[in-house]
């Protein structure tokens, strides 16, 4: 990401400054041939840098846990990202007369795609947020107050069960990240991270940097559901209503177990 922009940022206007471009124009080469040749030359160098990192990929495959198909997909996506950066540098090299201008514009474009997209996404989050009344499933305060008094009397403390959870209506700020998540798709790190192989399932927030980036982008795409939120987290104080940060979406199997448990309690 730091070396590849310089491969094509001065390829055309640099030849113009050194008088090489005029010589090329006197040959039978068309302007398209010159541009394609410059691009392929820079493309070959970028692939050479990518090939230099292949021993690390081979080591990851030998260590196990990484599918060869996902690894090849990640390499192909990374090669595509490098090709786009080469094309950006070649474009600015053809549009500007001075090499310093094309180099600066190329690096600014890469910085805008890398950092600007994230900044724009974070700025739009509070702007597009709305205050809504949502239906949330939580462990009620009455349950904690009752068991705190029982704890003061020296009785054993029991953990809340899904059957103890209730639905409450409350006003809270809803972030509509599903409206601006597409900004993250322009980020080269997000593109590569989403294609990178991982040992963890998709619904697990992993500890690897690329997995965290991928999970964050997919979570932003889903957005926040204002219809039904589930903060029923038995055994943790964040399951109490009004305590932020306690939301955790249950799996389908957990939801079925909760509904079956409530049905049994109602029958009793």
Tens digits of residue pLDDT in 204-243: 444 677 788 888 888 888 887 544 467 776 544 444 444 4
- pLDDT tens for 65-93 read 677 777 888 888 989 999 999 999 999 99
Tell which of 107, 125, 143 closes a domain. 125
Question: Phi and psi of 204, rounded to 5°?
Answer: -110, 125
d(CA 247, CA 120) in angstroms, rounded, equals 25
pLDDT band, residue 119 (cuts 50/70/90): very high
d(CA 261, CA 268) in angstroms, rounded, equals 11
Question: Phi and psi of 101, rounded to 5°?
Answer: -70, -45
Q: What is residue 242's predicted lDDT score, i.e. its pLDDT? A: 41
Structure tokens at 5: 């922009």
CB 89 within 8 A of CB 42: yes
111 and 33 within one domain: yes
Q: What is residue 124's predicted lDDT score, i.e. its pLDDT? A: 93
Q: What is residue 222's predicted lDDT score, i.e. its pLDDT? A: 84
Lowest mean pLDDT among 5-19, 137-151, 181-195, 245-259: 245-259
Domain count for the chain: 2
Q: What is residue 158's predicted lDDT score, i.e. its pLDDT? A: 65
158 and 38 within one domain: no
Q: C-alpha dihedral over 115, 119, 120, 122, to 10 degrees?
A: 140
d(CA 264, CA 25) in angstroms, rounded, equals 84
159 and 97 within one domain: no
105 and 88 within one domain: yes
Looking at every residue in the chain, the average pLDDT score rounds to 77
Question: Phi and psi of 156, rounded to 5°?
Answer: -65, 140
Residue 217's alpha-carbon distances to 62, 70, 184, in angstroms, are 29, 18, 7
Query: What average pLDDT does this structure show over 87-115?
Result: 93
> How many angstroms from the chain centroid is the CA of residue 174?
20
Domain of 139 in residue numbering reads as 130-267
Tell which of 73, 102, 125 closes a domain. 125
Greatest alpha-carbon span in the chain: 97
Residue 153's alpha-carbon distances to 135, 158, 159, in angstroms, are 35, 14, 17
139 and 115 within one domain: no
Residues linked to residue 75 through DSSP beta bridges, in sequence order: none
Residue 7's alpha-carbon distances to 45, 88, 98, 99, in angstroms, are 8, 11, 15, 12
Query: What average pLDDT does this structure show over 26-33?
Result: 89
Q: What is residue 238's predicted lDDT score, i.e. its pLDDT? A: 42
pLDDT(30) > 80:
yes
138 and 256 within one domain: yes
Tell which of 125, 149, 184 closes a domain. 125
196 and 179 within one domain: yes
187 and 109 within one domain: no
Q: What is residue 157's predicted lDDT score, i.e. its pLDDT? A: 56
């Amino acid at each position: 990401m730091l070396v590849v922009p310089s491969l094509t940022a001065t390829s055309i206007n640099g030849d113009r400054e050194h008088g090489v471009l005029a010589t090329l124009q006197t040959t039978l080469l068309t302007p398209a041939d010159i541009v394609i040749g410059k691009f392929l030359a820079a493309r070959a160098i970028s692939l050479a840098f990518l090939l230099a990192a292949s021993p690390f990929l081979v080591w990851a495959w030998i260590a196990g846990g990484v599918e060869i198909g996902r690894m090849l997909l990640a390499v192909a996506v990374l090669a595509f990202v490098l090709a786009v950066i080469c094309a950006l540098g070649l474009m600015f090299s053809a549009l500007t007369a001075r090499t310093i201008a094309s180099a600066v514009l190329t690096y600014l474009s890469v910085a805008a795609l890398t950092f600007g997209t994230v900044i724009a996404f974070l700025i739009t989050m509070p702007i597009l947020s709305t205050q809504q009344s949502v239906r949330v499933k939580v462990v009620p305060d009455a349950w904690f107050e009752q068991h705190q008094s029982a704890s003061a009397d020296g009785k054993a403390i029991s953990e809340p069960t899904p059957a103890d959870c209730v639905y409450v209506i409350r006003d809270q700020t809803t972030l509509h990240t599903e409206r601006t998540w597409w900004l993250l798709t322009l980020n080269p790190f997000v593109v590569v991270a989403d294609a990178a192989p991982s040992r963890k399932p998709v619904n697990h927030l992993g500890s690897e940097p690329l997995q965290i980036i991928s999970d964050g982008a997919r979570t932003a795409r889903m957005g926040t559901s204002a219809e039904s939120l589930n903060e029923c987290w038995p055994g943790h104080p964040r399951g109490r209503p009004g305590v932020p940060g306690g939301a955790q979406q249950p799996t389908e199997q957990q939801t079925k177990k909760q509904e079956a448990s409530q049905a049994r309690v109602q029958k009793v």
